[in-house]
Amino acid sequence: MTRIKKAGGGDALVGILFLLPYLVLWLLFVVIPVGYGFYISLHKWNPMGASPFVGFDNYIQLFSNSRFLNALENTFIYAVWAIPLVLVLGLAFALLLKRAKVRGVGFIEGALFFPYLLNVSVVGILWNFLLDPNVGIIPYYIRAAGFPAPDFLNNPALVLPTIAFVSAWWLCGYRMVVFRAGLNAIPEELYESSSLDGAGPVRQFFSITLPLMKPSILFAAILTIVAGLCMLGQVLIMTNGGPGTSSEVLALFMYRTAFESFNFGQAAAVGFVLFAIVFLISMALVRVFGLKSELG
C-alpha cells in the first residue's frame, strides 16, 4: 500500500514538473500582463510620471461617453452579422464537401481554405479595391446588370454588413476544416441505421449531425465570437472607423483612446469591458452546448 502511495506521489510530481514550464510562461505572459492591465485601468495612467489612483472612475466615465456607447453598439452589430455568416458558411461548405461525389474535392477544399492564409492587411486592401465605387469590379458588374451600385464602404447602413461579409469570406475556410473534422468523426453506421428507419437527410442532420458535432461547433463558435468582438484589422484598413464613426468598433476605440488621446487608463478599462463581454458570452455558450459526449 505504501509503495502504491509513493508511486502515485511520484507520478504527481512528474506531472507537475512537465507542467511547470507552461505554468511559468502562462504566469509571465498571461496572468501578470492581465493583472497589470487591470491595475492600469484603476489609475489615470501616465507612463512618464505620477499615475493617481481613480478606482472605477474610468469604467464609470466610459458608460457616459457617447462615442464608447456607439463603438459598443457597432461591435454588436458587426458580430450579429459576422458570427452567423462565418459559422453557417463554414458548416455549409463542410456538409457539401462531405456529400460531394465529384473529382477534385481536395482542390475545392483547398481553394475555400486559401483566403484564411492571407494576412488581414492583404484582405482589407484587396476588398477595398474590389468595392471601390469608381474602379471596383463588384460595383462595375452591379451597374452592368442595370442596378445602381451602392458605395458599400461609405454608406453608414452598409459598411458594417459589408465588413462582416469580407470577414466571413476570409475566416469561413478554417471553420470549414474544423467542421469537416467533426463530420469525419461521426460513425457512418449511424446514418445507415437511421436510413433503414426511414430518416431523411434533414432528420439525420438535426438528430445525428448537429448533436454529435457539439464539440466542433462550440470550438468554432467561441473562436468566431472572440474574433468578431475583438475585430480591429479589417475596419482599421478598410474604413478607419468611417464614415464618421459608423464603423468604429470597441477595439478601434480602445486603440484611439490609448495612442491618439493617450488616455491609457481608460483604454485599459475598455479592454476589460471587452474581455468581460467575450468571457460571459463564451461561458454562456459552454453552458448551452455542454461538454459531455452525446454517445456517452
Please give the distance of CA 2 from its chain centroid, rounded to a whole number: 51
Q: What pairs with residue 43 in β-bridges?
A: 53
DSSP-assigned letter for residue 53: B
Q: Quick check: 145 pLDDT over 50?
A: yes
Do 171 and 139 have their domain in common? yes
C-alpha cell at 8: 502515485
Averaged pLDDT, 115-125: 96
Residue 120, in any domain of the structure? yes
Do 167 and 250 have their domain in common? yes
Question: H or E element: which one contains 92?
Answer: helix 66-99
Do 228 and 88 have their domain in common? yes
Identify the domain containing residue 111 by its residue range: 56-289
Is residue 53 a contact partner of residue 43, using CB atoms and an 8 Å limit? yes
Residue 51, in any domain of the structure? no
Do 19 and 124 have their domain in common? no
| pLDDT given for residue 8 in this prediction | 55
- Rg of the chain over Cα atoms, rounded to whole angstroms, equals 24
Do 92 and 2 have their domain in common? no
Residue 48, in any domain of the structure? no
Residue 241, in any domain of the structure? yes
C-alpha cell at 183: 463530420
| pLDDT given for residue 102 in this prediction | 73
For the ranges 69-73, 84-88, 142-146, 200-204, the lowest mean pLDDT is seen at 200-204
Residue 219, in any domain of the structure? yes
pLDDT in tens, 19-48: 999 999 999 999 999 999 999 999 999 888
Do 32 and 133 have their domain in common? no
CA distance 118 to 127: 12
| pLDDT given for residue 291 in this prediction | 57
pLDDT in tens, 248-292: 999 999 999 999 999 999 999 999 999 999 999 999 988 888 755
Q: At 293, is the pLDDT very low, low, confident or very high (cuts 50, 70, 90)?
A: very low
Highest mean pLDDT among 109-113, 165-169, 192-196, 213-217: 165-169
CATH classification of the domain holding 160: 1.10.3720.10
| pLDDT given for residue 296 in this prediction | 43
Residue 126, in any domain of the structure? yes
Angle between helices 264-289 and 250-259 in degrees, nearest 10 = 160
CA distance 110 to 203: 30
Q: Quick check: 221 pLDDT over 60?
A: yes
| pLDDT given for residue 31 in this prediction | 93
Do 64 and 29 have their domain in common? no
Do 64 and 200 have their domain in common? yes
| pLDDT given for residue 100 in this prediction | 81
User: pLDDT above 90 covers what percent of the chain?
Assistant: 76
C-alpha cell at 57: 472612475
- Label residue 243 exposed, middle or buried (CB < 10 Å: 0-12, 13-18, 19+): middle
Quote the number of domains for the chain: 2
Predicted TM-score of the model (pTM): 0.89
| pLDDT given for residue 89 in this prediction | 96
CA angle centred on 160, ends 154 and 165, rounded to 5° = 110
Number of alpha carbons in the 13 Å side-chain half-sphere of residue 279: 6
Do 76 and 172 have their domain in common? yes
Q: At 163, is the pLDDT very low, low, confident or very high (cuts 50, 70, 90)?
A: very high
Cell numbers 468523426 correspond to 185
Residue 50, in any domain of the structure? no
Q: At 192, is the pLDDT very low, low, confident or very high (cuts 50, 70, 90)?
A: confident
| pLDDT given for residue 294 in this prediction | 45
Residue 49, in any domain of the structure? no
Do 152 and 236 have their domain in common? yes
Q: What pairs with residue 53 in β-bridges?
A: 43
Do 145 and 116 have their domain in common? yes
Do 194 and 171 have their domain in common? yes
